[in-house]
Amino acid sequence: MAPERSISELAELIQKNAKILEDGTKGQRGINFSLTFTLSPAAPKLDASLEVAKAEAIEAADELKARLLGPFLYLGSLVLPVPPTIVICSCLYHFNIGSHIPLQPGSSITYEDLAARCGMPLDDLRRVVQAAVAYRIFEEDTPDISVKHNNISALFGLAPGMADVLNQLAEDNPAGAMKFVESLRRYPGSGEPGHSARMVAERAERGLSNDEVADPTKGFFDMIAEDTARVTQFRNMMDMTTKQPGYAASYLLDSVPWDDATRCPKAIVDIAGAGGDVSKQILRRYAGVEKATSVDLPEVVEIAEVPEDLQGRLNFAPYNFLTETMSHEADAYVFRHIFHDWSDQYAVKILKNLAPALRAGTRIWINEVVLPELSATDHINDQRQRSADIMMKIAFNGKERSRRGWENVFAEADKRFRIQSIVQPKGAIDSVIEVVFDD
């Protein structure tokens, strides 16, 4: 373990990397690292060396804050914001506060007018918005009188899907988190979707019993399947989340060796491919892939459409990876963001259902998180990934997996599965796992 750096060394590291970022982005439109609302907010696109500098600056700033606060105040800084943050997100969502603030840079609205438009008591509205300002969401124009957008809060008006992200943050996630301990005590060691913390919360809210769960294989997706509004909210939230640059499918496409004609599969199957977005990108990128079949549940594929330029190369077919044996033969099978929704017992079932279609040398490409060992120098990345792991557990009884976790799942499903390589492209959140089926 590296020796602990002094607080002055941390400050110098922040300053050094901040200077690298300023110099490296000078003159680039839209990249000024300001919170002032001047342009459409977007994640700055930085080259690899600047991403490293940014990560080092953020990590050093996080450590410096913890060290300066000391143990008691640091713990307080983690716990104290949780209830007010939930209240802020809930009010932003239910009273649609962000949409009632002018979206023109510099334009403001009085708290009085904002309260009237939102239908929220003036004193409560002011207190909630000022709490948000304290967390760098919105800015006051005239103290205690008026408020305006900054680059963070402008997202609520410029990115419509943010409303559904807020709903997830304010409603679903906290409700599930509050039932986490109860779910562990009620169903210790269970990997059933119906035993997840979120499902415990859902049943409690609906007045259903958690003592006797009729069918624990039914999880969150089954619960909301008939609720069109909630399905739409969830899809919008996922669409917003996966638009982060680190989730781009291009990282997968850049990592497969399919420019080499001898290694390019002629036929692929994209499992749970929804509208076929990944298949479309693959076919347009790699001419050597002659055919792609995107499989998903019947109600999903029946509304999918094949673009004019991919007629004859792309098709859709119904498939349930939990209940059906794979019948579509291919040279390669692609899974993207699938396994983390499921516990090990279900991940094994998915792979067992796939195995009968495989022959010696068939490749399986998986685009998902591979948890690294906890780092002494990258707590920010650990916080994000371990938080995502807990959220998968809360919502679905799913999980993010380490390399060992992936190896265990493959070994239990079929000894012929072998991990050939795991690569995490620079800048990507997910890794690309290449698996070979040996016969």
Q: Summarize pLDDT for 366-420 with one digit per residue, the tens.
A: 999 999 999 988 999 999 999 999 999 999 999 999 999 999 999 999 999 999 9
DSSP per-residue codes, 341-385: GS-HHHHHHHHHHHGGG--TT-EEEEEE-EEPPPPSS-HHHHHHH
Q: What is the extent of the structural domain holding 19?
A: 7-79
pTM: 0.91
In a domain, 57, yes or no: yes
| pLDDT band, very low/low/confident/very high, at 92 (cuts 50, 70, 90) | very high
The answer on 68 and 39 residing in a single domain is yes
- Among 27, 60, 79, where does a domain finish? 79
Quick one: what percent of the chain has pLDDT higher than 70? 98
pLDDT at 118: 97
Does position 95 have pLDDT exceeding 70, yes or no? yes
pLDDT confidence bin for 160, thresholds 50/70/90: confident
Sequence-separated (6 or more) residues with CB below 8 Å from residue 229: none
pLDDT tens, position by position, 291-306: 999 999 998 899 899 9
Q: What's the confidence (pLDDT) of residue 243?
A: 72
Split at pLDDT 50, 70, 90, the class of 430 is: very high
Same domain? 278 vs 223:
no
Count structural domains, the chain. Answer: 4
Task: Identify the domain boundary among 126, 158, 190.
Answer: 158
The reply to whether 216 and 187 lie within a common domain is yes
- Residue 146: φ, ψ to 5°: -145, 160
pLDDT at 16 over 80: yes
Residue type for 183, please?
A: S
Pick the residue with more confidence: 2 or 133? 133
pLDDT band at 31 (very low <50, low <70, confident <90, very high): confident
Average pLDDT over the chain reads 93
Tell me the per-residue pLDDT of 41-53, one tens digit each, with 9 for 90 and over: 456 678 888 989 9
The enclosing domain of 431 has a CATH number of 3.40.50.150
Q: Which whole-number Å values give the CA distances from 249 to 7, 159, 256, 366, in the listed order?
A: 39, 21, 11, 12
**Range 155-166 average pLDDT:** 83
Same domain, 262 and 357: yes
| Domain co-membership, 116 together with 193 | no
User: Pick from 150, 154, 111: which is nearest to 130 by CA?
Assistant: 111
Query: Using CA atoms, how far apart are residues 431 and 352, in angstroms rounded to an integer?
Result: 22
Q: For residue 236, what pLDDT band results from cuts at 50, 70 and 90? A: confident
- What's the half-sphere exposure (Cβ side, CA atoms, 13 Å) at 176? 23
pLDDT tens, 323-376? Answer: 999 999 999 999 999 999 999 999 999 999 999 999 999 999 999 999 999 998
**pLDDT tens by residue, 97-134:** 999 999 999 999 999 999 999 999 999 999 999 999 99
Same domain for 197 and 286: no
**Do both 140 and 174 map to the same domain?**
no
